[in-house]
Amino acid sequence: RAIRMMIPPAWQNVDTMDADLRAFYEFNSMHMEPWDGPAGLVTTDGRYAVCLLDRNGLRPSRWVVTKDGFITVASEIGTYSYKPEDVVAKGRIGP
């Protein structure tokens, strides 16, 4: 619910959308504009991590996984200090 409210899709012209989902977006559109949300969002259930960009996908978000199990997601390089040899994987989150 939080993700759908903070980062809604472009739902207004989707004719096949479920009526309950349309009502959800119509109600919440009174409280928050689509561009008021975060540039990116990270959620986890303790087992999986999910990272996504805002619906426009204009601001970059990069991720790095290190040997010690840390996952860093940020819009700027150098947010977390790590040695290049400790990097297991890295990349960029797409829109």
* Domain range summary for the chain, segments of one domain joined by +: 1-37, 39-95
Cα angle, residue 90 at apex, residues 85 and 94 outer, rounded to 5°: 170
Nearest to 41 by CA among 26, 57, 64, 29: 57
pTM of the entire predicted model: 0.62
Q: How far apart are CA 33 and CA 19, in angstroms?
A: 20
Nearest to 69 by CA among 55, 82, 50: 82
pLDDT digits (tens, 9 = 90+) for 15-73: 999 999 999 999 988 877 666 666 777 888 989 888 888 767 777 788 899 999 888 88
